[in-house]
Amino acid sequence: MKKENMIKNSNTDNSKKNGTFIVKVEKCQNETWQGQVIWADENKSQYFRSAMELIKMMDNALQKRQMIENIDRKYR
């Protein structure tokens, strides 16, 4: 596969997983962040207690959306 095709395919795959998150870091305690994350695309918010928890929340949100999109495509 040519490099141009690999880049094009890579960009196509990533576009399905994009999301917009607003992160409000309210404090830094125990060497990590605490605050609130807002998933702008879905208008949902949730509090997090660590940077790792924040990353997991965002990753899970994108995985769930991807799963729903795959189901929708399958049954069209």
Kindly report, residue by residue over 18-51, the tens digit of the pLDDT.
889 999 999 999 999 999 999 999 999 999 999 9
Residue-wise DSSP of 50-70: SHHHHHHHHHHHHHHHHHHHH
> Who wins on pLDDT, 14 or 51?
51
> Who wins on pLDDT, 72 or 46?
46
Query: What is the domain partition of the chain in residue ranges?
Result: 20-74
Share above pLDDT 70 across residues of the chain, in percent, rounded to a whole number:
78
pTM to 2 decimal places? 0.70
Task: DSSP letter for 35, please.
Answer: E
C-alpha torsion sign, points 30, 35, 40, 44: positive
Q: Could you tell me if 60 and 74 are in contact, meaning their C-beta atoms sit under 8 angstroms apart?
A: no
